[in-house]
Amino acid sequence: MSVLDKKKGKKIYTRDINVATYEYDDNNIIVEGVLKDDRLCPTYTLLGRKQPSLTLHHMVVRMLVDSYSFIIKEIETEMPEAPEEECPETMKSLDKIKGMTISSGFSEAVRKKLKSTNGCSHFTALLLAMAPAALQGNFTKIAIKPFPEEVTFDVIKEFLGNSCYAWRIEGPLMKKIQQHFKDTHHKVK
């Protein structure tokens, strides 16, 4: 047990983000993200009003994503719980994401598009957590069967290359995958 773990007091707040991927049809998936912030103790508002323990934020984002291009075809939001009555006015702010491709540079592009007083930092945080999970969920959908020929090394490189240390383009994992694709029916450029 670490020093910090020993020193933990009473838990006062949690943020849970859950992302799930669902089959939709042969060419698309649905990715659903849920963000929930809970205050686990009574608190005071900035206006001095005492409030009980509560769910401060509860938000849902659903995206229809093309399984091969990773283009976001549709996006919808829900806000079952919000701290301010103005918050639901931000639900359409994610419409700007429709048509974007989940690939390298996606997070930066999302931050630029949603950075304004018309948006919601919580929706942005949820969307940024959903993107890599969408790739994993889609990979799971594709990997249920042997990889189709449409999944080329170039596709792997575009969506996974340099996404982290293990997936660096010049690293041993990518070299193994490239060699495998050369040795099988998959096209390699």
| Helix/strand/coil (H/E/C) assignment for every residue in 36-102 | EEEECCCEECCCCCEECCEEEEEEEEEEEEECCCCEEEEEEEEEEECCCCCHHHHHHHHHHHCCCEC
Work out the pLDDT band at 185, boundaries 50, 70, 90.
low
**Distance in Å from the first CA to the final CA of the chain:** 49
Dihedral pair phi/psi, residue 126, rounded to 5°:
-65, -45
Whether 149 has a pLDDT exceeding 90, the answer reads no
User: Could you tell me the pTM of the whole model?
Assistant: 0.84
Average pLDDT rounded to a whole number, residues 117-131 = 92
The 10 Å Cβ neighbour count of residue 116 is 10
By mean pLDDT, which of 99-108, 132-141, 155-164 is the weakest? 155-164
Could you identify the residue written with the tokens 């919808």? Answer: 76
Name 57's bridge partners.
37
Domains recognised in the chain with CATH numbers: 3-144 (3.30.390), 146-189 (no CATH)
Helices 121-143 and 106-114, packing angle to 10 deg = 150
pLDDT of residue 187: 54
Check the CA dihedral 139-143-147-148 and report its sign.
negative
- Measure the CA–CA gap between 35 and 75, rounded to whole angstroms: 16
Query: pLDDT: is 66 or 163 the higher one?
Result: 66
Work out the pLDDT band at 6, boundaries 50, 70, 90.
confident
User: Which tokens hold the place of 64?
Assistant: 């229809």
Whether 109 has a pLDDT exceeding 90, the answer reads yes
